[in-house]
Amino acid sequence: MKEFKTSMTAIDFAAILARLQELKGLKLKNAYRIPGGLFFKFKGRGTEKGVVFGFKIGLFPVSLERIEVIEDDRFVVKLREFIRGARLVELEQVDLDRIAVFTLFKEGKRLKLYLEWIREGNLVLTDPDETILLAWEEKEMRDRKIAKGEKYMLPPRAGLDPLALSPGYYERFSKEFKARFKASAVLSKLIDAPGEVIAEALHRCKVDPQSPSTSLTLERFSCFTEKVREVIFEGIKGDRGYRLIRDGNVLGVYPFKPTHREGEFEEVDFVEALSEYFLILMYKKDEKSIKEGIERKAKEFLKRAAVLRAVADELSKEVFTLDKLLEEMRRLKEEGVRWEDIKTKISNLDPRIVEVDPGKMKVVLKLKELDVHLNANKSAYENISELFSLAKTLEKKAKKASLIAKKKKVKEKEFKVVTIKERKAWYENFYHFISSGGFLVVGGKDASQNEALVRKYMNDNDIFLHADIHGGPVVIVKSQGDSVDEKTLMEAAQLAASYSRAWELGLMSADVYWVKGSQVSKKAPSGEYLTKGAFMVYGRRSYLRNVPLEIALGVKVRNSTCEIVSGPPSAVGKETKIMVILQPGRMSRDFVIKKMVNVFKSALAK
């Protein structure tokens, strides 16, 4: 068994899947390259979240501020064209395997992004018919082919489903038991379960995982079938995890207590501990891995250069035919022929043509599995010369990369590292919180902010709230076009009431009305004038009566840092268990602040 845990198991992912469901409904803002994988950034409902996919490690959530990305490559640029701005409608795990699936919706189309961390790992994007649009690595295997235009097929399972295992399989399995084979090794071959799960199940049956497989009697095998399910179900609960520590080193993070391993066990929040462990693992860029990456890149440059030269050579043999084709496109464009007719006529001139764009004067030929873009404003000779030039440029890059790889020490400066700088969200200068229903609620702190909320940030489908008293904030619920639940309305009403003049008057409750954003206007009636922060409300108002004046202040602990959060108690309670609830009263401000500080200090010290 490996000393350090080097990748996520299917059980690890099943354990964190519930936490990842908070990404559903968010928009995929961007994708970035990071060492050994990709980073996906999601945004929506007033929040931003990130997940990392390591080709050999797995998929896990991360804090945005902890990510460093490396320079874009052609794959990421192409991937962005397909998925940037898409909404995540589903996030699933395939058959308790090391495969995650993002179901994305963009411009009326449903896409699927398959993230595999089996063997070398892969990322495959498909259309609604499961036809492959893009793949990190195109390859043909014995059981499936990963290539653009092919139907995506899942990899076959490596063995029997461990949850289907029963003592009845003993006779069949025992034929594979040999003295020279270890018990854990044989079972790993026959059962599609992580090695650490098999080792733990054997250990709980008081069977040494390293003992000969012939030591597995029917009684021991029956125990194993029971314990393997026990370990799996214990793991996928995801409510707690264990960090394995030996000699001060963290050797891994597990969703169950790995009693088969020697060391100290520290109980932790599994999702956060797993994220921290594997993120550190991904960013360990030792000299060997960097060198291998450079050498691989050099080979890619040479391979692409060879294809470009072969294509250019082939086109050189038919330069006159190609010239006539490009000349014909120029003639049709100059004569004002309809673009659809140009596409049809030019496409019929050569069966290798896959795209004609009269607007950009572009013709695309499919040659040697390569899309060759030809500029119709240039001659055939000029287009072919550009292909040769591009091949030469790639060969120079390959040569430079090879020289770098041969150096005894690779310097960090050879690689461009870009830190993602997070811009402050627009709502952070306002009163704001995320409701229990997942909606962003924002309130103005003064007349200028009230004005800005109505003029700049409120949409027709948003909800506008205001206390039914003179003097108070404009509060809006950013609906994103979705129906707003009653609990969110009540929480937003609490914000409107608590920051209104009702608090100063010592009232314990107040009435709050709400309307659609489309009912609110900054236009004054004829002959009248609206002051800053004032507005007109048209149509029927809905009222929430006797809304309690209460504001909660809490401390949110994340990644060893503390953040103050505020809002209605029910919303803040979802963010943190360390909070105090404030109501109108006669205590002095200084006394209340000191009291809160003491409460927070005491809670955090535990």
Look at residue 417 and tell me whether its pLDDT is greater than 70.
no
Cα–Cα dist 9/256, whole Å? 12
CA dist 58 → 42, 61, 135, 235, 246 (Å): 18, 10, 17, 16, 24
Look at residue 379 and tell me whether its pLDDT is greater than 70.
yes
* pLDDT tens, position by position, 197-223: 999 999 999 999 888 988 899 999 999
* pLDDT tens, position by position, 330-348: 999 898 889 889 889 988 9
Question: Residue 413: pLDDT band by 50, 70, 90 thresholds?
Answer: very low
Q: Is the dihedral of CA 448, 454, 456, 462 positive or negative?
A: positive
Look at residue 105 and tell me whether its pLDDT is greater than 70.
yes
Q: What backbone torsions phi and psi does residue 468 show, to the nearest 5 degrees?
A: -85, 60
pLDDT of residue 254: 96
pLDDT of residue 604: 66
DSSP structural state of residue 386:
H
Average pLDDT over every residue of 257-275: 91
Look at residue 517 and tell me whether its pLDDT is greater than 50.
yes
Question: Residue 174: pLDDT band by 50, 70, 90 thresholds?
Answer: confident
Say how many residues make up the chain. 606
Closest by alpha carbon to 123, among 13, 40, 243?
40
DSSP E strand boundaries for 231-388: 241-246, 249-254, 264-268, 353-357, 362-367, 370-375
| Sequence-separated (6 or more) residues with CB below 8 Å from residue 309 | 387, 388, 391
Strands 47-54 and 58-62: antiparallel
Question: Residue 101: pLDDT band by 50, 70, 90 thresholds?
Answer: very high
Cα–Cα dist 14/92, whole Å? 9
pLDDT of residue 65: 66
Cα–Cα dist 498/567, whole Å? 9
More confident residue, 292 or 464: 464
Residue type at 529?
Answer: Y
Look at residue 558 and tell me whether its pLDDT is greater than 60.
no
Look at residue 523 and tell me whether its pLDDT is greater than 90.
no
Residue with the two structure tokens 């029910």: 570
Cα–Cα dist 40/45, whole Å? 17
More confident residue, 3 or 308: 308
Look at residue 293 and tell me whether its pLDDT is greater than 70.
no
Which stretch of 288-302, 429-443, 449-463 has the lowest confidence by average pLDDT?
Answer: 288-302
Cα–Cα dist 43/120, whole Å? 30
Look at residue 92 and tell me whether its pLDDT is greater than 90.
yes
Which stretch of 151-165, 188-202, 396-410 has the lowest confidence by average pLDDT?
Answer: 396-410
Sheet of 249-254: strand order equals 249-254, 241-246, 264-268
Closest by alpha carbon to 220, among 200, 230, 208, 205?
205
Name the packing angle between helices 319-334 and 287-316 (round to 10°): 80
Q: Give the CB-side neighbour count of residue 189, counting CA atoms within 13 A.
A: 10
Cα–Cα dist 549/423, whole Å? 33
Kindly state the helix (H) or strand (E) to which residue 82 belongs, with its residue range: helix 74-83
Cα–Cα dist 476/464, whole Å? 5
pLDDT of residue 201: 94
Look at residue 400 and tell me whether its pLDDT is greater than 90.
no
More confident residue, 63 or 19: 19
Residue type at 533?
Answer: G
- What does pLDDT average to over the chain? 86
Cα–Cα dist 12/5, whole Å? 12
What is the three-class DSSP state of 236? helix
**CATH 2.30.310.10 is the classification of domain 10-146:** yes
DSSP E strand boundaries for 430-578: 431-434, 440-443, 463-467, 475-478, 509-516, 520-521, 536-537, 542-548, 551-558, 561-567
Average pLDDT over every residue of 506-521: 93
What is the three-class DSSP state of 286? coil
DSSP structural state of residue 502:
H
